[in-house]
Amino acid sequence: MFRVRVISVLLLVSNALVLLTADKVYYDLADAKSHFADFILKYNKVYDTEEDYNQRLEIFRSNLLRINELNVLHEATFGINKFADLTREEFEKTRLAGFPPVEINTGEKITVEKEWIADAPDSLDYRDEGLVTEVKDQGQCGSCYIFSAIGNIEGQQAKINNELISLSEQQALDCDKEKKDMGCNGGYMVNVIALMKEGGSVGEEDYPYTAKVGSCSRNESNVKVKILNATALSTPTEEELAGALAHYGPLAIALYMPDWQYYQDGVLTPLNCDNPPNHGVVLVGYGTVPGGRDYWIIKNSWGADWGIEGYFKLEKGREYCRIGKYYTATAEVEKKV
């Protein structure tokens, strides 16, 4: 069996031919094999056959070209990370979600009040208020919508009961008996919140994540949070989205995620980002960079070793990537006595 695992003694070149320009990395494709060796070592990659190794090397080489292109097109920074040996199709299948097509802002939704918009502060970051748990990793399962919903419930629990608890995503993955969602193939955040209403949400430690659908084993003795209601919000404009965020706390939202799997830092200003949503995330705040560019602060579910310690910034004020236009949701959490 052919198994590739690069060890440090064989790693003679470490980014020697990388070009650095204005804090960005532009990779020399002629040195792709050396970069690939670095990549294998850093991320502990193992390829079982020579054919698999060669195939991943070619995918990696193509991704280096795309990273270089993205660094030219964007002010944000892109680079090699743990996803650099995946095709776009493979990445979409395992890290993004399917949302059944619906018309924008249809169905029963709570409308954002004008005073919520007026009361929204100039900047906001719920991490500073202790309403956001650590960044998690959904693994090779299209369950981002669950991480989005659970992130909202965690924030509501912290806001209402002054107690930040990491809650179980696996519970939602296993216990959807009516199959309202599609497990590792996508679903709706509001459905997840409604599911947690049936008996409550258990802790992460008591029901750990496995990145695959299993048998429901929720234990009532492990319930940490009681949910009273699942609310869908109408946030067709960024002004309304900011008002809802300021009023409720961290929100479960959907947006379209282009080929940003290589994102590392900076504010994203998309070029083509008008497709329907394909990713569920947690909106935790917004701010302004020196020079006046406003941005959203978004918690992702691809691990803390992606992006800005698991987060990314998306330019605010231009309604990029259909943010808030389709699916925005929040839980109503029971106050403990």
CATH number of 180's domain: 3.90.70.10
What's the pLDDT score for residue 291? 82
Same domain, 148 and 191: yes
Whether residue 100 lies inside any domain: the answer is no
- Return the CATH number at 20: 1.10.287.2250
In the residue annotation, 71 being an active-site residue is answered as: no
Counting Cα atoms < 13 Å in the Cβ hemisphere of 259 gives 18
Whether residue 3 lies inside any domain: the answer is no
Whether residue 99 lies inside any domain: the answer is no
> What is the mean predicted confidence (pLDDT) over 317-328?
91
d(CA 303, CA 298): 13
In the residue annotation, 219 being an active-site residue is answered as: no
d(CA 194, CA 331): 8
Same domain, 171 and 278: yes
> What is the mean predicted confidence (pLDDT) over 284-296?
93
| Res. 280: pLDDT tops 50 | yes
Whether residue 94 lies inside any domain: the answer is no
What's the pLDDT score for residue 6? 42
**Residue type at position 43:** Y
Q: What is the pLDDT of residues 115-165, one digit of tens each?
A: 999 999 999 999 999 999 999 999 999 999 999 999 999 999 999 999 999
What are the C-alpha distances in Å from 57 to residues 3, 9, 60?
14, 20, 5
Q: What is the pLDDT of residues 12-27, one digit of tens each?
A: 333 334 454 457 889 9
Q: Which residue has the higher pLDDT, 178 or 254?
A: 254
Same domain, 179 and 260: yes
pTM (predicted TM-score): 0.92
Give, to the nearest 10 degrees, the angle between helix 144-161 and helix 189-197: 50
In the residue annotation, 144 being an active-site residue is answered as: yes
| Res. 77: pLDDT tops 60 | yes
Same domain, 272 and 313: yes
Tokens read off for 263:
């994102």
Looking at 35, 273, 278, 279, which residue is catalytic? 279
What's the pLDDT score for residue 290? 87
Q: Which of 59-73, 79-93, 180-194 has the lowest mean pLDDT?
A: 180-194
> What is the mean predicted confidence (pLDDT) over 82-86?
98
Q: What is the pLDDT of residues 24-76, one digit of tens each?
A: 889 999 999 999 999 999 999 999 999 999 999 999 999 999 999 999 999 99
| DSSP strand pairing (19-21 vs 24-26) | antiparallel
Task: Give the residue from 43, 68, 85 where a domain finishes.
Answer: 85
Tokens read off for 169:
């995503």
Question: Virtual CA dihedral for 42, 44, 46, 52, nearest 10 degrees?
Answer: -30
Same domain, 80 and 165: no
Whether residue 22 lies inside any domain: the answer is yes
Same domain, 42 and 191: no
d(CA 80, CA 64): 8
Tokens read off for 16:
């020697």
What are the C-alpha distances in Å from 17 to residues 14, 109, 308?
8, 54, 25
Same domain, 73 and 181: no
Domain, as residue range, for 194 = 110-333
CA nearest to 145, candidates 186, 199, 195: 186
| Res. 87: pLDDT tops 90 | yes
Whole-number average pLDDT of the chain: 90
Whether residue 146 lies inside any domain: the answer is yes
Q: Count other Cβ atoms within 10 Å, centred on residue 271.
A: 9
> What is the mean predicted confidence (pLDDT) over 89-115?
78
Tokens read off for 63:
């991704």
Whether residue 140 lies inside any domain: the answer is yes
Whether residue 90 lies inside any domain: the answer is no
Q: How confident is the model at residue 272 (pLDDT cuts 50, 70, 90)?
A: confident
Same domain, 123 and 225: yes
Same domain, 77 and 117: no
Query: What's the structural domain count of the chain?
Result: 2
What's the pLDDT score for residue 100? 60
| Residue with token string 């009681």 | 226
What's the pLDDT score for residue 153? 98
d(CA 50, CA 68): 27
Q: How confident is the model at residue 1 (pLDDT cuts 50, 70, 90)?
A: very low
| Res. 202: pLDDT tops 80 | yes
Looking at 141, 144, 184, 273, which residue is catalytic? 144
Percent of the chain whose pLDDT exceeds 70: 91
| Res. 101: pLDDT tops 90 | no
What are the C-alpha distances in Å from 284 to residues 130, 168, 238, 260?
11, 19, 14, 19
What's the pLDDT score for residue 19? 53
Same domain, 33 and 160: no
Same domain, 130 and 230: yes
Same domain, 200 and 251: yes
